[in-house]
Structures are given as C-alpha cells and as structure tokens.
Amino acid sequence: MSNTSVDKFNAVVHQNLTTEKKHYTAKDSVKGDVVQSVKQYLLEKVKHLPISETQGLPFDLRLAIKERVELTVNIEAIDHLANGSGGTVQALSDNIIWILFNDKNAGKITRNNFKSRFPNEVLRDWTPMFRTVRMFRIMKKEGTEIERFQFPL
C-alpha cells in the first residue's frame, strides 16, 4: 500500500470521527544566509513535502480524541518512544497531546518525569507528547536548512 493511499484512508477515518478535533500547523523557519524572497519561497515549498523529506514531522497535523496514531520520529529509545510506536489520542491541548500507547512501557519514564504536572483529568498511563524540533535541507546550498517545530505524530 502506498503512502498516498494510506494518507487518504487516514483522512477518511479522521473525518468520520465525531470526537473533539484539533489542527496543528508546524512552525517553520529558514536557517542560513538567504535573501527574504528565497526564504518565503522555501517556507511555501516545505508546506507540501511528505514527512519522508521533513525528518518525520508533518506540516499539517489533524487529530481527534480516540484516533489511532504512531510516532513519526525517535523521541527517546530508552523510554520506548520510537518511530512507529502506536497508541490512541486521549486528550488534546495547544501544547500537549496525551497518548495512551499500546505498549505500557512506552513513555513510562516521561510519565514519571511529568506526573506532578498531570491535571486531575489525565490518567496516569497517558503519555504527554510535546512538539519537537527537526532540521532538514531542501537546497543544495550548504548552511541553509529548514527548522520545523511540530508534534511527532
């Protein structure tokens, strides 16, 4: 099955969910010595790249409560938060997405580190996911990279 067909299937599943939904847009910036017009061009171009070209971070991320997700990057191997780790969205906020991972060991260290900050309604086996930063290059020019800040889902 191709990535395009998987993306289309996932979009239909997302659309059919009736639970709370949220849209997250990546924060992109150009790092390097390029003129403003080139920066604007690059920022527009990277909006449409597949995650295979953006270090695993999507530009647009649309999620819903009870939606199945997978990590798209390695976060912390020792905490079992690796690319492909699957789970279900439990709660959404602007800065944290709460995931119940299929593997109870996934995120155990993270949950322990943040347990004092968990709101009362957050269950102890939910793992907080935060936006992460990745750099990627789309120009051959040395020193010019895109910095993307987005949730790794």
Question: pLDDT for 111-135, tens place per residue?
Answer: 988 877 776 667 789 999 999 999 9
**Confidence class for position 1, pLDDT limits 50, 70, 90:** low
Supply the pTM of this predicted model.
0.87
C-alpha dihedral sign at 72, 75, 133, 110: positive
Question: Domain extents for the chain?
Answer: 3-150
Statement: residue 83 has pLDDT above 60: yes
Question: pLDDT for 15-72, tens place per residue?
Answer: 777 888 999 999 999 998 888 998 999 999 999 999 999 999 999 999 999 999 999 9
**CB neighbour list of residue 5: distance below 8 Å, 6 or more residues apart:** none
Question: Which residue from 153, 143, 147 is spatially nearest to 135, judged by alpha carbons?
Answer: 147
Statement: residue 99 has pLDDT above 70: yes
Beta strands (DSSP E) in the chain are 21-25, 27-31, 60-64, 68-70, 86-92, 97-101, 127-129, 132-136, 145-150
